[in-house]
Structure 1
């Protein structure tokens, strides 16, 4: 009974040590990879712009890889066997196989979770956007925006540019609609003028036709007087 309690307490201490050491290793890996990336970035040439574009994603991959490697180092066979000492004493070879399979499945599960995190969080897109913001900040000599401490002013400073853009867009659309309406009005006016001219031509043709009919009747009456046919 005492041996089981000692083993349990030892396992608890080991797990706590793993958590603390994994956090420390994560920080160390981040600092190590950051220093490597900064040293390699100082030697980067202008022709390597396409490679520099993905530095943050590469940094993330290296940090995850380093953290995974150091985390796996803490899950050593000796520590694993100490947790299952009775089974280890009965069959050490089987315990080694179980430990190997455990390490492979653990690595696979962690890598799968990391890949899912990258896909679901759209990490590559967001890191590229962060690169763009960084380049824009370098090109912009003005200081970056900082909150003033007054929520009303900060809220207005955030919304006013948006409303100004919307106003400019609405003014542009209004000008387009006014130009379209003016073009349509010109077409309507031209159509009305065409109809008026057509009505004038029709009325002129009718008057000419009436005049020709009257002239024809007068000519017929002059050539064939009515008294010639009287008996």
Structure 2
């Protein structure tokens, strides 16, 4: 009885639909339609915030954790310790529950440490920035050519070029420092040479003075000195 009434309602609905369409066309009214699912999805995409890579990572990790817990089922756990299970099934079940709790806690702690120590949040934010920056670049992104030697060289050459430029700059600094030191050393040598010349001149003058004094002393006789 209920099935026949449902069929009758469906037939009435199908019969009314063309008439409604015809009335709408004659009156110029738009046919009444429900909400547009495409527009709703578009508005939802515009209003909803962009998905978080970190939340996606955590979701994937949680699914992986559930898979691991699922593989560590009670049947497998009991099959590994069958004698103990036969002896005390209730005790084995309690041990399995404790094992699952500790396993879940340990894995969850490792995931938290991985996120914290690996600074995944900042790295994923940097990835978002790189992705948004890449959208504004009309040039195509780098793709491997299929020749490992060329790809490896294209990756290392900019690094080596930067290192070469850095070494050249450091070499110029060292050469300038060496030139400055060479000038200072030359100036020191010149000062030493001038000092040697002054000392040699002073020695020569002293020797000349001594020679003149000796000549004067020899020219004076004892009688001339003590004559009264």
Q: TM-score scaled to structure 1, two decimals?
A: 0.54
Map residues 10-89 of structure 1 onto 2, 5 A cutoff: 42-43=48-49, 56-65=53-62, 68=65
Tell whether the 8 Å contact from 2:144 to 2:151 is kept in structure 1 after alignment.
yes
Quote how far apart the aligned CAs of 1:146 are: 0.9
1 CA distance for matches of 2:218 and 2:108?
Answer: 111
Q: Are residue 156 (structure 1) and residue 171 (structure 2) matched?
A: no
Higher relative contact order (CA 8 A, sep 6+): 1
State the shift of 1:186 in Å: 1.2
Distance in 2 between the 1:184 and 1:75 partners? Answer: 74
How far apart are residue 203 of structure 1 and its match? 0.6
Give how far 1:126 is off. Answer: 5.3
1:134 to 125, 128, 135: 128
Aligned in 2, Cα 1:124/1:229: closer, same or farther, shift over 3 Å?
closer
Query: CA 1:133–1:165 in structure 2 vs 1: closer, same or farther (change >3 Å)?
Result: farther
Matched with 2:184 is: 187
Q: Structure 2: any 5+ residue segments left out of the alignment?
A: 1-43
Which has a greater percent of helix? Answer: 1
Distance 2:222 2:200 in 1: 33
Mark the runs of 5 or more structure 1 residues left unpaired by the alignment.
1-37, 45-51
Match of 2:211 in 1: 214
Q: Is the 8 A contact 2:65 2:107 kept in 1?
A: no
Displacement of 1:76 in angstroms is: 9.4
Deviation of the 1:207 alpha carbon: 1.4
The count of residues paired between Structure 1 and Structure 2 equals 174
Rounded to whole Å, the distance in 2 between the matches of 1:42 and 1:201 is 91
What residue is the counterpart of 2:15 in the other structure? none
TM-score in terms of structure 2 length: 0.55
Supply the RMSD in Å over aligned alpha carbons.
Answer: 4.5
